[in-house]
Structure 1
Amino acid sequence: MQNNFKLKIIKSLSYDPWYNLALEEKLFYEVSDNEILLYLWQNKNTVVIGRNQNPWRECRYNELEKDGGKLARRLSGGGAVYHDLGNLNFTFIMKKNFFSIDRQLQVIINAVNKLGIKSEFSGRNDIVTDEKKFSGNAFYYDGDRCYHHGTLLVSADMTKLAKYLKVSKEKIQSKGIKSVKSRVINLKDINPMLTIEKLSDALEESFTEIYDCNISERIEKNADTDINEINNIYEKYSSWEWRYGQTPKFQIEFYKRFHFGDIELLLNLKNSYVNEVVVYSDAMDSSLVLDIKKSLHGIKFTNEDIINKLETLKEKYDNDIIMEIQKWIMEKKL
């Protein structure tokens, strides 16, 4: 039976996170109806935070930038990750009718198995071996377009990973771990012969096996020649506004760790009405966080008004998640 899709592999030759994320977005909005893309890329000395995360809470950005590193913010939700040249990043890009998280994960797991390492998907977004994480995954959707991207730790500098990433005590306690270093592992620790090139080759082989289709096209992209094509997107990813955002002094600050991620709610009031809202979160669903922010702006600062506004989100999101947030607000007794 002939497949009704084409497989394409795109590899970035740049180590600039702002270029690589801009290219990812360009590929996302240009993917054809019959294409399934596997985009492979690497960043040099970078911390990448989720769409709705607080950079000051997640990253020791002063140390990162002093060491010549870069802070980047992606489109998807989820938590902060450290990238260096001992890490390989992957992105599956396609239209909704082909999107299958299980199938995409199987490409990764199958590739790692080929290299003599048993692995499995764990929790909300991790791939682990022997209960230690070597891959974090995140997802983004816009209309009928979807992407699934993640990290693959091969020989990353764990000292720098621990140096630049700040993990809240609540998150560590919820996972029952001692430190960020204790819960991650490099694949090279298991297979000392492993290289980025060997992993990349295994991914390509697994990609064709899982989708039972040959690669129709391989493309290499270089920032030196392609930057003009994505200049406007690059400017967004490299801008202070996108990476850090505006952080005025807030009168009210709430924080809680939920099973689906943390939420930090920052509010300013004028005449008892909410006139400024910022919501930070590592929740996987980035649109939920944006909708919470929109729903609270301009309302009266009372338990009842906030609860009622959040109630309207139940039509779009998991009722249990909204109810947990409502219960949290009620406990504040505003």
Structure 2
Amino acid sequence: MKQTPVRNSALRGSARPRMLRAVYSGSLEVYANLALEQQLYEALQPDEIVLLLWRNSPSVVIGRHQNPWTECDLQAMQRDGVKLARRASGGGAVYHDGGNGNFSFLAGADYYDQQLQFSIVIAALAALGIAAQRSGRNDILADGRKFSGNAFRYRKEKSYHHGTILIDTDLPRLSAYLNPAHTAVRESKAIASVRSGVVNLSELKAGLQWPAVCRQLVAGAERAWGGAARVEQIDQQRLDGDDDVRARVAELCSWQWLYGRTPDFGCVHRLERDGHGGSESGAELELELQLHRGRIADLKLHPDQEYAALAQQLRRTLGGVRYRPEDLRRCAAALSRDGPARSVCRQLALQLQATADTPLGTEEQG
């Protein structure tokens, strides 16, 4: 199969970086790999390019400006031990497991070339006998179906481009976790994912393995930037022993980063009316919440006229409280006696149980 040409349009002809590094992560921990990517990016020199190659155990990774309650099935993920991660780049939600590979191009401003980086990926797959094309939404397709979603982060002095490569991922699980059956969210300022038909490359090239893709990606980078890469292997033990990586992991797995950074949204929870006076047993009321930076900014109860007094009490109790089961249970415990307000707090905490036991982390000020 004819290989897609790799053209160097933004490197000023024969210009080369001082160093091209190919870094292989042996970790399958999503937070450790994202922390490593951040560390490499922060330390990146202006005349340096890094190609990071990595995989994760089952996890869902959402974009920086997304809402986890709308992007993934948190209850199913909690049940199955699938981790939630939020990356620092934009873009949509993706599912990772051992059958999916990830690449990251990190480059100084003079060397960052998004079109070239896409061409390296496409050329690497062409060398393996797979015809791929870039789509208009920054996906890469084969046989008309998506196998690679890509996202970016830009700064004046450096940028990065990372993406997935579906090789032999568990597509039924991908579909299950990225398509929540129910969500309380009704309106949101978050960026929503655009769902696409996907394909495993092993369906198109039997026996394809991640190491073979890695070798071609590194070879393509060497051709594109005109020099041999310095190859580095980083294992989990090395990451565990790195204080900076551990600090970054602590932030990446915190409630404040995963949930508290969610753009403002509104949601509606249906709760039992038991003990709310004058309502038939088993009937429901609707609790409408407005969330700002992960905290309850306002609320309404429906039917509003019947529960005006309760709504006022809940505003006093829940105003400014984190949308987090542990915080809601503390609110319930702080109320002086059993009653409607305590029942609402307990029921809301139960409905958010899928986010329980997430370390809080440091809250951003301002």
TM-score by length of 2: 0.63
Which deviations, in whole Å up to 9, do the C-alpha atoms of 1:27-79 show, x marking residues without a partner?
00001122110000001000000001100100111211221110000000110
Instruction: Find 1:195's aligned residue among 209, 231, 254.
Output: 209
Q: 2:133 aligns with which of 117, 120, 135?
A: 120
**Structure 1 pair 140–251 and aligned structure 2 pair: CA distance change class (3 A):** closer
**Distance between the aligned counterparts of 2:39 and 2:235, measured in 1?**
14
1:61 aligns with 2:74: yes
Check if 1:234 corresponds to 2:249.
yes
Deviation, structure 1 residue 143: 3.5
Alpha-carbon deviation of 1:129? 1.1
Residue 64 of structure 1 contacts residue 70 of structure 1 at CA under 8 Å; is this kept in 2? yes
Residues 1-334 of structure 1 mapped to structure 2, 5 A cutoff: 3-166=16-179, 183-215=197-229, 217-227=230-240, 228-229=242-243, 230-245=245-260, 268=297
Unaligned stretches of 5+ in structure 2?
1-13, 182-193, 269-289, 300-318, 321-366
- Sort the Cα spacing of 1:189 and 1:249 in 2 relative to 1 into closer, same or farther, 3 A: closer
Post-superposition CA distance 1:202-245 (Å, at most 9, x none): 11111112222211x11111232223331211111111111122
Cα shift at 1:251: 6.5
| Secondary structure of 1:98 counterpart | coil
- The alpha-carbon distance between structure 1 residues 130 and 23, as it changes in their structure 2 partners (threshold 3 A), is same
Aligned pair count reads 250
Distance, in Å, in 1 between the alignment partners of 2:259 and 2:210 is 31
Cα distance in 1, alignment partners of residues 210 and 148 from structure 2 = 14
2:108 counterpart letter in structure 1: K
Query: In structure 2, do the counterparts of structure 1 residues 32 and 157 end up closer, same or farther at CA, with 3 Å as the change threshold?
Result: same
Change (3 A) 1:234 1:131: same
Q: Describe the shift of the 1:125–1:28 C-alpha distance in structure 2 as closer, same or farther (beyond 3 A).
A: same
Cα deviation, 1:84-120, whole Å, max 9, x if unaligned, reads 0000000000111111100000110000101111111
Q: Verify the 8 A CA contact 1:138 1:150 in the aligned structure 2.
A: yes
Larger radius of gyration: 2
Against the structure 1 CA distance between its residues 167 and 103, is the aligned structure 2 distance closer, same or farther, given a 3 Å change threshold?
farther
Contact 1:251-1:269 within 8 A present in 2 as well: no
Counterpart residue identity of residue 235, structure 1: A
Does the CA-based 8 Å contact 1:18-1:234 persist in structure 2? yes
* 1:303-333 residue CA offsets vs partner (Å, 9 max, x unmatched): xxxxxxxxxxxxxxxxxxxxxxxxxxxxxxx
CA RMSD across the alignment: 2.8
Do the aligned residues in 1 keep the contact of 2:167 with 2:209 (CA within 8 Å)?
yes
Which residue identity is paired with 2:255?
A: W
SS in 1 for 2:222: helix
Q: Percent identity?
A: 37
The 3-state SS of whatever aligns with 2:110 is helix
Residues in 1 aligned to 2:129 and 2:291: alpha-carbon distance in whole angstroms: 47
TM-score (norm 1): 0.69
Distance 1:43 1:252 in 2: 31
Cα-to-partner distance string for 1:149-202 (whole Å, 9 max, x where unaligned): 00000000001001100279xxxxxxxxxx95x710000000002111111111
Task: Name the one with the larger helix percent.
Answer: 1
Asked whether the equivalents of residues 106 and 210 of structure 1 are also in contact (C-alpha less than 8 Å), the reply is no
Q: 1 CA distance for matches of 2:225 and 2:165? A: 21
1:67–1:252: structure 2 CA closer, same or farther, 3 Å change rule?
Answer: closer
Amino acid at match of 1:192: A
How far did 1:123 drift?
A: 1.8
1:104 partner letter? Q
Contact 2:73 2:180 in 1 (8 A): no
SS of structure 1 residue aligned to 2:161: strand
Structure 1 residues without counterparts, runs of 5 or longer = 169-178, 254-264, 277-334
Give me the whole-angstrom Cα distance separating, in 2, the residues matched to 1:109 and 1:155: 18
Runs of 4+ more than 4 Å apart? 246-253, 265-270
What amino acid is aligned across from residue 39 of structure 2 in structure 1?
K
> Does the 8 Å CA contact 2:17/2:111 hold for their aligned counterparts?
no
Separation (CA, whole Å) in 2 of partners of 1:251 and 1:160: 28
